[in-house]
Structure 1
């Protein structure tokens, strides 16, 4: 029972259908190489990653920055009050300076609460 012939995909010579190596060009029909070893993997270039990754990160940061915008007046006032109370807690300051800063902070809290309403998390004393 003879098997039908087929043509070698590398040299186009007729070979048996069950053949795993071409008898004419000696190329393995399984791997496509003459020694039977698998073909080497092609190396993908790395330069697109080196260029595109920083650009994508920069673009993302620009979008996030554009969406956040500057802080509003209420946030600025709240930050100023928090910073003021840190001056009161500074033990390197003299007692009279800390009393003056405490009075200033209390006035800032009063103005904040008059303008934006009472805040339960705002330090008052």
Structure 2
């Protein structure tokens, strides 16, 4: 994966997250195995203006549910195979072919988001 491809994928996911309402002060849970998708998701949340909450798929399900609920996360990016039973209304399942197709059709350019140094992510 080149740097350009990484940023294009992050931008596409960021545009999708923005369309779902993610913006400044939004918390987005990330429940993904370590790998390229995790890096893309971290960058995408920042590009969308939000802050990410790492949720280790190896944690017990009760712990993950508590962390997600306690944080007030408004969305989740994950894989249904590891996080499908977490209690959240807005989820982006990266292992869903329909979601991948939707992401592929999003713009690969950076979303226009104004950020400030006192925001949650920074």
TM range (shorter): under 0.3
* Higher share in helix: 1
Higher-RCO chain (CA-CA 8 Å, sequence separation at least 6) = 2
TM-score, normalised to structure 2's length? 0.19
Name the structure where strand makes up a greater proportion of residues. 2
**TM-score normalized with structure 1 length:** 0.19
Tell which structure's C-alpha radius of gyration is larger.
1
